[in-house]
Structure 1
Amino acid sequence: MACGSNSNSNANVFQSSPIEDSSSPYYLHPNDNLSLQLVPHVLTGSNYIHWSRSINTALVAKNKISFINGTLRRPHDDDLLSHAWLRCNSMVVSWLRNSISPQICSSIMYLDDAHEIWSDLRLRFSQLDSARAYQLKQRIMSL
């Protein structure tokens, strides 16, 4: 073995940045854009469960689910990934807004964090509508 040679085969491994690594949540595909509507139906309120499952599936496929479930929090401003997080979070926020009816969208327009938007919508719309449940129970009883 020559003097100064490196026998470690990992020495020449290229380390890509999270922005370039397609397995990273910070990666944005060239086809990802702000006007993309992730699901074919918009949130109207009464369809929350169906809509949220569809959005979840789409965000898992795009490796962006961590932006809405809270597992990937905003880094400090001095963190090298701060700009990448902001860019991806803004993309997810845009996708969410494009998938919500205009009436509901106006109520979340000033929320800029995808996790905050997701939590707000879940809190408002995942609750069982007790009046509607009562009506349905009454109909079942009358049958």
Structure 2
Amino acid sequence: MSSSSSATIVIEPGSPLYLHPSDGTNSVSVEKLLGFSNHRPWKRSFEITLASKRKLGFVTGVVERDANDKVKEDAKDTCNSMVISWILANVSDGIKKSVMYTNSAKQIWRQLE
């Protein structure tokens, strides 16, 4: 086994690329988005929740891929998928069906707007 394959890469807890062990697909819960009627309060609640987990940048576009750093690129992809799972868990089934094949949390966020 080479030393590079046994090395552990640590992402600091303050980084938007860090996922806490308790950050599962069901760890974000706000009132479900039903449509235009509750979009504004849903969006605000979701933004607060994402900000508390340092993940708001995934929907605003502040957190971008770093093609020069494979580890960070992989961590970004993992976090993006987690944010997508949180969005999908907090929208109505009809809305979920319309966005679930989009691969970017930022793109989903734009579609929901």
TM-score tier by shorter-chain length is 0.7 to 0.9
- Superposition map of 1:100-115 within 5 A: 100-115=91-106
Taking structure 1 as reference, are residues 54 and 86 closer, same or farther at Cα in structure 2, changes over 3 Å only? Answer: same
1:81-132: CA deviation from partner (whole Å, max 9, x where unpaired): 111001111000000000000011100011011000001101xxxxxxxxxx
Q: Which residue of 1 aligns with 2:13?
A: 22
Structure 2 residue matching 1:81: 3-state secondary structure:
helix
1:5-55: CA deviation from partner (whole Å, max 9, x where unpaired): xxxxxxxxxxx84x2x1110011111110133331x100011000000000
C-alpha contact 1:92 1:114 (8 A) present in aligned 2:
yes
Report the AA paired with residue 52 of structure 2. A
Q: Which residue of 2 aligns with 1:55?
A: 46
Q: Which has the higher contact order (CA 8 A, sep 6+)?
A: 2
Distance in 2 (CA, whole Å) between partners of 1:77 and 1:100 is 35
Aligned residues: 104
Q: Percent identity?
A: 38
1:78 to partner: Cα distance: 5.7
TM-score (norm. length: structure 2):
0.85
**Larger Cα-atom Rg:** 1
1:77 to partner: Cα distance: 7.5
Name structure 1 gaps, 5 residues minimum.
1-15, 123-143
What's the Cα RMSD here? 1.6
